[in-house]
């Protein structure tokens, strides 16, 4: 894995030794403080650039154009009127490639490397994590061109694991508001304040190519700001689960990717 990852700075290949444990502890502290951690340059930038180049033709000819209007919850909320400011509608748009469309990619090598799941589980205080068996959903790569964005939302899963492959000319920042709600308090007024641009605690960070980002997005609202310029934002999403054998249903595949297989 040393040909694609910087394992001198990030010793994922040496589980449980002192340097590995120090990295895990640092990541856990960042998760506690900021709700995320970043490994800047985990994938060598030249490898990330090569991966983007290899996907340029599939993105033009095979990618699924995912466009939808949605509120921050992706669903109606019982007890809230449709015109409640916390249910403001936004547009999300991107192109998506699935795992079966990136055969031979270094992204799949990283995803299937057992030490990667072992490291992630340690940072999240989980006994273990497993790759998906779903041939489409296990690894996705999203492209955001000028005017496209991933708009405000909360994640369904506890953690989201991504790796930025290419940064755009402008825009494409990761904006988030840590702990905007809790499992017991939906904080609809606070959500409305954020969506109206009135929350002074939201932050925006710009990642560099090759950076691994692990993010607790279940109760932290977040979005990717609109991209501008000729260079698109390209990011991969890795899906891990606490139980083995997870797959999406046919309906979920069609909804996310426009095809069942």
178-211 pLDDT, tens digit per residue, is 999 999 999 999 999 999 999 999 999 999 999 9
Task: Work out the pLDDT band at 259, boundaries 50, 70, 90.
Answer: very high
Query: pTM for this one?
Result: 0.93
Q: What is the mean pLDDT of residues 63-76?
A: 94
Res 157: pLDDT: 84
- The answer to whether the beta carbons of residues 42 and 115 sit under 8 Å apart is no
Average pLDDT of the segment spanning 46-69 = 96
- The CA distance from 241 to 120, in Å, is 11
**158 conformational bin, left if phi > 0, alpha if psi -120 to 50, beta if neither:** alpha
Q: Mean pLDDT across the stretch 130-148?
A: 96
Strand runs labelled E in the chain: 36-39, 64-70, 90-97, 130-131, 139-144, 150-153, 160-166, 170-171, 174-177, 203-205, 212-215, 221-224, 227-228, 233-238, 240-241
Question: What is the spatial distance between Cα 140 and Cα 21, in angstroms, rounded to a whole number?
Answer: 29
Return the percent helix, strand and coil in the chain, to nearest 5: 30, 25, 45
Q: What is the pLDDT of residues 211-231, one digit of tens each?
A: 999 999 999 999 999 999 999
Helix H or strand E encompassing 57? helix 45-61
- Cα 25 to Cα 125, 163, 205: the distances in Å are 10, 20, 22
Residues whose CB falls within 8 Å of the CB of residue 16, separated by 6 or more in sequence, listed in order: none
β pairing state of 170-171 and 36-39: unpaired
Pick 36-102+131-257's CATH classification: 2.70.150.10, 2.60.120.460, 2.60.120.620, 3.40.190.170: 2.60.120.620
- What is residue 84's predicted lDDT score, i.e. its pLDDT? 96
pLDDT of residue 255: 87
Strand partners, 212: 39, 163
Tell me the β-bridge partners of 17: none
Question: Is the separation of the CB atoms in 109 and 4 below 8 Å?
Answer: yes
Q: Where are the domains of the chain?
A: 36-102+131-257
| Section 136-158 average pLDDT | 94
Q: What is the mean pLDDT of the chain?
A: 95
- The per-residue pLDDT for range 23-39, each reduced to its tens digit, is 999 999 999 998 999 99
Q: What are 119-129's pLDDT values in tens digits?
A: 999 999 999 99
């Amino acid at each position: 894995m040393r040909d694609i990852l910087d394992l001198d700075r990030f010793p994922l290949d040496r589980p449980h030794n002192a340097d590995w444990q120090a990295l895990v502890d640092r990541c856990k502290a960042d998760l506690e403080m900021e709700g995320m951690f970043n490994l800047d340059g985990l994938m060598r930038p030249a490898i990330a650039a090569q991966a983007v180049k290899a996907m340029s033709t599939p993105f033009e000819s095979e990618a699924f154009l995912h466009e939808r209007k949605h509120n921050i919850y992706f669903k109606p909320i019982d007890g809230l009127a449709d015109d409640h400011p916390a249910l403001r509608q936004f547009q999300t748009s991107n192109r998506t490639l699935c795992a079966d469309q990136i055969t031979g990619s270094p992204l799949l090598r990283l995803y299937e490397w057992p030490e990667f799941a072992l490291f992630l589980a340690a940072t999240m205080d989980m006994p273990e994590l497993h790759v998906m068996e779903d041939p489409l959903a296990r690894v996705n790569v999203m492209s955001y061109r000028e005017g496209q964005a991933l708009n405000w939302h909360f994640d369904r899963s506890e953690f989201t694991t991504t790796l930025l492959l290419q940064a755009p000319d402008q825009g494409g920042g990761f904006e988030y508001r840590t702990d905007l709600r809790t499992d017991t308090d939906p904080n609809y007024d606070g959500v409305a304040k954020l969506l109206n641009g009135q929350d002074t605690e939201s932050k925006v960070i710009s990642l560099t190519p090759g950076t691994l980002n692990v993010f607790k997005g279940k109760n932290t609202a977040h979005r990717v700001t609109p991209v501008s310029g000729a260079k698109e934002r390209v990011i991969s999403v890795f899906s891990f689960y606490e139980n083995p054998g997870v797959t999406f249903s046919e309906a979920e595949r069609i909804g996310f990717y426009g095809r069942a297989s």
